[in-house]
A and B are shown apart, each in its own frame.
Chain A
């Protein structure tokens, strides 16, 4: 359905996304995890046909068998909303403050499906109910500032679902929300994907959210997909040194507590910082920060090593037989 085949996105000599391969089928729930500069948002923008001007795409991005890397904006417009839709991190910024939220959600239905305003509003009412907005008829007439952060995010989800997309991309959908609201939105996305047999791509830096929402996971670093596999297995037993570092650096609320009177344990860290795009190493992107680096890591890019049970990771040490 959606297929990336060695897709790269480059700005001059800097590569924001390097030879990404991925297949997304109906009902998939895929987590894309990475820190800033990992290429996860670039990947999402490519899937939406919204890669920034100046990005040079190579490789293939096929939607329903059709390569879209060189497709025109018009071709993308006919796909967006109906095949692929996206929700963003900051719900206030994504809604027009001067338009009633019901009209915002009705617009793509009228544009893409040619429904009358009246028919579109009936559909919006159903959508608001489906995403769990209480008293939907009254909410439709309200403006974004009259809604709470969680309600706004639900409106954005309704907007994304308006034309029944086959793929929903959620880019940090819960980062701006409070903990208990974030949990409810995450669970809502999982339920909607199941009910509609819709694919869900969940982009986040939050490992707890990914563990809750997704079945499979791709870990990205510096534009490379460094590890992938079933979410529970990757998080329980990470194979790539970066995934291991990322999991260890995340404080565990119970295990990390100080023994009264004792010295607090320090958190394991990944040394250094994510290099900026032009400064990324040529070989493995993680070289220079990797604790188990060997000589050729800096120069040769490791390919994916099949680890069985749907898992793979890109690390030279895996082909050496030691980690």
Chain B
């Protein structure tokens, strides 16, 4: 058995809230409470939960944008939050993120080719930027010529393809998708989910897939982690949890996702 790509151990993150009275102690919100999980190459972990359940905080810690108050994240064996700055910057090319809003995540005044190449410039690679950009565009089902266009020339689904191209241009091992299909129409959503599955099969990507929609998560994930109020309600193989949800909250999510109820 190979070591997992990502090994998150007992992650906890607390936020200090604004104090409600002048002299009282500031209340503390535990956004993520003792969460552990692993992701292997070629596997997808789905994290489901409602807003405020801590799933985006989890993503921000995996992206090393935030430091956990307790616990550690091992990425290919290295403790991400203990790495020196230069080493972390070097590692960043191997984990990339796709965001929810395909309109807000692209600079409207830059060509999409420029935006896709941005991570390459950020990591200071000497690789052939133009060739890598064209390759990424093709991998997401667009034409290399599309790199010369501007974001407004594309539909929502195409913009999400561009966002994915930007995430894979550094040839990452891990992709973090935070509500990456939630803003899309149903028919376009299916196209993007299929694209993620194709890329995963071709590139052996590990994916951390965050969503509030259990139906979407079910279609793409091998393992599931159901969160509420920062805690893990249940986790395990997706097929098992979906057939026999142990927790009433998971049952509610299933009910909300099903057409035939």
**Contact flags A255-289 to B (C-beta < 8 A → 1, else 0):** 01111100110111110011000000000000000
- Chain B residues numbered 190-222 whose CB sits less than 8 Å from any CB in chain A: 190-191, 193-194, 197-198, 201, 212, 214-216, 218-220, 222
Distance of A180 Cα from B257 Cα, bound (Å): 10
Give the distance to chain A from B193, nearest Cβ to Cβ, in Å.
Answer: 6
Residue contact A269 to B51, C-beta cutoff 8 Å: no
- Chain A residues numbered 163-181 whose CB sits less than 8 Å from any CB in chain B: 178-181
Distance of A257 Cα from B256 Cα, bound (Å): 17
Distance of A10 Cα from B142 Cα, bound (Å): 33
- Across the interface, B157 reaches (CB within 8 A) one of A180, A257, A273, namely A273
Q: Which of A207-215, A290-298, A308-316 lies at the interface with chain B?
A: A207-215
Q: Which residues of B contact A256 (CB under 8 A)?
A: 215, 218-219
Residue contact A254 to B157, C-beta cutoff 8 Å: no
Q: Is B131 an interface residue (CB 8 A)?
A: no
Q: Which residues of B contact A268 (CB under 8 A)?
A: 190
Among B156, B201, B215, the most chain A Cβ lie within 10 Å of the Cβ of: B215
The answer to whether A180 and B242 touch (CB under 8 A), given A205-B186, A253-B215, A256-B219, is: no
Give the distance to chain A from B211, nearest Cβ to Cβ, in Å.
Answer: 11
Distance of A270 Cα from B258 Cα, bound (Å): 20
Residue contact A211 to B242, C-beta cutoff 8 Å: no
- Across the interface, B222 reaches (CB within 8 A) one of A36, A258, A273, namely A258
Give the distance to chain A from B127, nearest Cβ to Cβ, in Å.
Answer: 31
**Contact flags A33-47 to B (C-beta < 8 A → 1, else 0):** 001100000000000
Give the distance to chain B from A188, nearest Cβ to Cβ, in Å.
Answer: 15
Distance of A251 Cα from B211 Cα, bound (Å): 13
Q: Which residues of B contact A267 (CB under 8 A)?
A: 190, 193-194, 219
Q: Is B107 an interface residue (CB 8 A)?
A: no
Residue contact B259 to A208, C-beta cutoff 8 Å: yes
Q: Is B238 an interface residue (CB 8 A)?
A: yes
Residue contact B215 to A183, C-beta cutoff 8 Å: no
Distance of A92 Cα from B41 Cα, bound (Å): 41
Residue contact A180 to B186, C-beta cutoff 8 Å: no
Q: Which residues of A contact B125 (CB under 8 A)?
A: none
Q: Which of A11-19, A114-122, A193-201, A241-249 lies at the interface with chain B?
A: A241-249
Q: Is B79 an interface residue (CB 8 A)?
A: no
Q: Which residues of B contact A149 (CB under 8 A)?
A: 51
> Total number of A-B contacts with CB less than 8 angstroms?
115
The answer to whether A253 and B242 touch (CB under 8 A), given A179-B212, A269-B191, is: yes
- The chain B residue sitting closest to A35, CB to CB, is B185
* Interface residues on chain A, size class: 35 or more
Q: Which residues of A contact B187 (CB under 8 A)?
A: 35, 245-246, 249, 269-270, 274
Residue contact A250 to B186, C-beta cutoff 8 Å: yes
Q: Which residues of A contact B190 (CB under 8 A)?
A: 249-251, 267-270
- The chain A residue sitting closest to B241, CB to CB, is A257
The answer to whether A257 and B50 touch (CB under 8 A), given A246-B187, A267-B193, is: no
Distance of A179 Cα from B257 Cα, bound (Å): 8
Residue contact A257 to B242, C-beta cutoff 8 Å: yes
Q: Is A320 an interface residue (CB 8 A)?
A: no
Distance of A301 Cα from B258 Cα, bound (Å): 33
The answer to whether A251 and B218 touch (CB under 8 A), given A179-B256, A180-B256, A211-B260, is: yes
Residue contact B253 to A257, C-beta cutoff 8 Å: no
- The chain B residue sitting closest to A289, CB to CB, is B187
Which residues of A line the B interface, CB within 8 A? 35-36, 149, 178-183, 205, 207-208, 211-212, 235, 245-247, 249-254, 256-260, 263-264, 266-270, 273-274
Which residues of B line the A interface, CB within 8 A? 50-51, 155-158, 185-191, 193-194, 197-198, 201, 212, 214-216, 218-220, 222, 237-239, 242-243, 249, 252-261
